[in-house]
Amino acid sequence: MKPYLVILYLMACVIVGASGDGLMDDGAKLWGHGLNALETALLISGAFVFNLNRKQWLAFIVAYVAFRIVGFDYAYNLSRGLPWDFIGFTSGWDLFLKKQLPSGVLFGRALFLILGVSVSLRNFK
């Protein structure tokens, strides 16, 4: 199995989930729920598609969480038609990010991107 396929698969899952949340918040609940269900189905089936062992399951989850931290907000903002770097005012995650400097947010996301890629390269050979 190629690690770059797992990376692309997980990034696609994040984009599908963020788009689903964005559509739900815009009022298109049917499409939003459908995309969120698709994300869940892709995540569950991904472990079987790539034929992961138990150790790789944990790496799959860690990589997904890392990629979600990196790209969810950007994909969500783009699906809602907001500026790509917009940070909201309601969720706990948004309130945490509001307290950080913009360079700190980018630095933190860069660290999680490195974590997601390195976990994938190390465990999905």
C-alpha 73/C-alpha 64 separation (Å) is 14
What is the H or E stretch that residue 20 is in? helix 3-26
Q: What was the pLDDT predicted at 1?
A: 66
Do 120 and 7 contact (CB within 8 A), yes or no? Answer: yes
Every domain of the chain and the residues it spans:
3-123
Residue (of 18, 5, 122) closest to 62 by Cα position: 122
Per-residue pLDDT tens over the stretch 4-13? 999 999 999 9
- Given a cut of 70, the residues of the chain with pLDDT beneath it are 1, 90, 93-94
pTM: 0.88
